[in-house]
Amino acid sequence: MLNSAQQLDYDQLLDVSGLNCPLPVLKSKAALASMSKGQVLKVISTQSESLREFPAFCRQPEFQLVKSEGMATQYIFWIQKII
């Protein structure tokens, strides 16, 4: 699912920067609920716990963590809705 610029495509962007746990995951779950099967949500978070929380969240059968990137103060996740 890479475009010509070698960036992952996504259908919706959710910026949860500045929100504390568990809000980034809860807001992501709500956003994914309104999306169709196969669509990808790109999530931007500043919460360091996101590195642990999102992979755990994506172990649910309806979601797949396609990719994650972590920088010093920003974490990006691409989550695909499977079911």
Q: Provide the token pair at 59.
A: 């172990």
Whether residue 21 lies in the annotated active site: yes
Compute how many other C-beta atoms are within 10 angstroms of the C-beta atom of residue 66.
17
Name the active-site residue from 21, 31, 44, 76.
21
- From the CB of residue 57, how many other CB atoms can be counted at a distance below 10 Å? 20
* Catalytically active residues, by annotation: 21
